[in-house]
Amino acid sequence: MYGGGYIQEEKQEATSPIDDAQKLAEFEARIDRGEKIEPHDWMPADYRKQLIRMIEQHAHSEVIGALPEGTWITRAPGFRRKLALIAKVQDEIGHAHLLYSAAETLGKSREQMINDLLTGKSKYSNVFNYPAKTWADVTVIGFLIDAGAIVNQVANSKGSYGPYCRALERICYEESFHLKQGHDAFITLATGTKAQHDMLQDALNRWWKPIMHFHGPPDKISEHTAKLMRWKVKMATNDDMRNQFLDMYVPKILEIGITIPDPNLKKNEATGQWEFSDPDWDEFKRVINGDGPCNAERLAVRQYVEEHGKWVRTAMMNPNQKVVIPFA
Amino acid sequence: MSKIPLNTPVLDPRIKRVDLESTYGTTAIGENEHWISWEVFHQKKRGDQHVHVGIVHAPDAQLALLFAKEQFGRRLACVNLWVTKSSDIFSFSYDDEDIFDNATAPEKQYREASGFRVMEKINRYKKSKQKA
């Protein structure tokens, strides 16, 4: 009760599948009052499970997302772009760290999470399984993928789990710089020479499908989604977030003379909903299950890094130290 | 060491240099290999309190400070950081949250500035003086 930290194994008890009805009612009442849930609180096993899955995936996405961009640091056009890209990539790794820490408070260790990433057991954002072939790809990622992520992160920062909200607040602050530098680079190419403009248009043409995939498959309002939204694990449906993203960013793409490679994309003013061609959800499923252009390369890079850093980590380990779940 | 075929020609120049396909193997990270966790406290400017901002993993206090500087002293104003082992933090349980209820209870108004209304009494006195 007043103990200093708590050891990982103790957590198992709290993930029992049998949820106490009275505790569940108190838990839901707390969320309804707009209060946050903290790590040591009682929580339904499914709440814990879904949060770990979501925060862990988010953390992996930051780590893997830094790879296509990191590749371009040496080739960024100009000193200022290079500095900005270095700062952005460092931020992304910092975000991963904040998120792993938040997930750890739920009882899964960082080592376990990274192992699950390496074996392909846990996923990361599907967009990072596509290559960044030119500088314009980095520009599209920096502007539109980050924009999509911000829509998602701003929504989730109002969720019910305290540590995740705290991490996201800081992340959103740094993301505002990512978005702005991406927008700046995007405008520079769009309004530059014909070669620059064409390179950007080509990159956007290739990235449009992954961008439409970004917020996940269309909602089937299932019992499951409804429960996660009631528990404020999910704050908006995939379709709502995609719609909000299109509302905000389609005008910003069109206003500088770039076209969107979907003739059916238009806003239905009556419903407020965007209509678009099927972005090929079969491809989405195929790629997320490992068969994308870069899946193997992304994981191979992580493997390489873990393997070659292992001797440093183990050399500094103190076998007498016990792993304790972080506090907040 | 097992080989994993990469679907597309590798684009990352770093990967080309390390000849990734031939060095690739499966690595599992052992428990505790990422070290223990440390709670980080951040002081924005001299005169402010140190405020808890998150954690880092490190094998010892010196490296914990170095990682804390990188993670929490990188972007925002900062003059000082503290780190302490997570296992050295002692806390109440949220189950006992109600023991703090009387800190803000309405019947404790007698120890709040807002619990005393002097203007009414002054005005009443001034009025009675004018009448007299």
Distance CA A173, CA A168 (A): 8
- 3-state secondary structure (DSSP) of residue A76: coil
CATH number at residue A150: 1.20.1260.10
Residue B1 has pLDDT above 60, yes or no: no
Q: CB distance A118–B63 less than 8 Å?
A: no
For residue A4 the two structure tokens come to 């200093």
Q: How confident is the model at residue A12 (pLDDT cuts 50, 70, 90)?
A: very low
Distance CA A152, CA A245 (A): 9
Query: What average pLDDT does this structure show over A272-301?
Result: 91
Q: How many beta-carbon pairs under 8 angstroms link A with B?
A: 161
Q: CB distance B32–A111 less than 8 Å?
A: yes
Q: Which residue has the higher pLDDT, A5 or A186?
A: A186
**Residue A84 lies inside a defined structural domain of this protein:** yes
Residue B29, C-beta contacts closer than 8 angstroms, at least 6 positions apart = A111, A114, A115, A118, A306, A310, A313
CA distances from B32 to A113, A321, B80, B120 (A): 13, 8, 28, 66
pLDDT for the residue numbered A17:
52
Residue B66 has pLDDT above 50, yes or no: yes
**Residue A323 lies inside a defined structural domain of this protein:** no
Distance CA A128, CA A65 (A): 6
pLDDT for the residue numbered A290:
86
Q: CB distance B24–A328 less than 8 Å?
A: no
Distance of CA A79 to the CA centre of its chain: 28
Q: CB distance A71–B12 less than 8 Å?
A: yes
| Identity of the residue numbered A269 | E
| Identity of the residue numbered B84 | T
Host domain of residue A129: 8-316
**What is the length of chain A?**
328
DSSP label at residue A157: T
Distance CA A141, CA A178 (A): 10
Q: In chain B, positions 65-124, which contact chain A (CB-CB < 8 Å)?
A: 70-71, 74-75, 85-96
pLDDT > 70: percent of chain A: 93
pLDDT for the residue numbered A6:
39
pLDDT for the residue numbered B118:
94
Q: Which residue of A has its CA nearest to B93?
A: A1
Chain A residues inside the 8 Å CB shell of B27: 118, 303, 306-307, 310
- Identify whether the C-beta of residue B18 lies closer than 8 Å to the C-beta of residue A307: no
Query: What average pLDDT does this structure show over A64-87?
Result: 94
Phi, psi of A324 (to 5 degrees): -125, 140
For residue A219 the two structure tokens come to 């909602």
CA distance A309 to chain B (A): 11
Chain B residues inside the 8 Å CB shell of A287: none
Q: CB distance A310–B95 less than 8 Å?
A: no
In three-state form (DSSP H/G/I as H, E/B as E, the rest C), the secondary structure along chain B is CCCCCCCCCCCCHHHHHHCHHHHCCCCCCCCCCCCEEEEEEEECCCCCCCEEEEEEEECCHHHHHHHHHHHHCCCCCCCEEEEEEHHHCECCCHHHHHHHHHHCCHHHHHHCHHHCCHHHHHHHHHHHHHHC
Query: What average pLDDT does this structure show over A41-66?
Result: 94
Bridge partner list, A4: B90
- Tens digit of each residue's pLDDT (9 = 90 or more) over B25-47: 567 888 889 999 999 999 999 99
Q: CB distance A297–B12 less than 8 Å?
A: yes
Distance CA A43, CA A14 (A): 8
Q: CB distance A115–B86 less than 8 Å?
A: no
Question: Of the given ranges (A16-20, A44-48, A192-196), which has the lowest mean pLDDT?
Answer: A16-20
Fold designation for B35-88: Ubiquitin-like (UB roll) (3.10.20)
**Residue A326 lies inside a defined structural domain of this protein:** no
Neighbour-count burial of A187, counting CB atoms closer than 10 A to its CB (0-12 exposed, 13-18 middle, 19+ buried): middle
Q: Which residue in B8, B11, B54 is closest to A101 by CB distance?
A: B54
Q: In chain B, positions 23-52, which contact chain A (CB-CB < 8 Å)?
A: 23-37, 39, 52
For A251, how many CA atoms within 13 A lie in the half-sphere containing its CB? 5
Distance CA B94, CA A253 (A): 48
Chain A residues inside the 8 Å CB shell of B5: 296
Distance CA A183, CA B56 (A): 32
- 3-state secondary structure (DSSP) of residue A190: helix
Within 10 angstroms of residue B5's Cβ, the number of other Cβ atoms is 6
Chain B residues inside the 8 Å CB shell of A9: none
Q: CB distance B88–A90 less than 8 Å?
A: no
Residue range(s) in chain B whose domain bears CATH number 3.10.20.520: 35-88
Q: CB distance A326–B39 less than 8 Å?
A: yes
Phi-psi bin for B121: left (phi > 0), alpha (psi -120 to 50), beta?
A: alpha
- Tens digit of each residue's pLDDT (9 = 90 or more) over A148-179: 999 999 999 999 999 999 999 999 999 999 99
**Count of structural domains, chain A:** 1
For residue B87 the two structure tokens come to 């296992």
Q: CB distance B26–A301 less than 8 Å?
A: no
Residue given tokens 């619990």 in the structure block: B115
pLDDT > 70: percent of chain B: 80
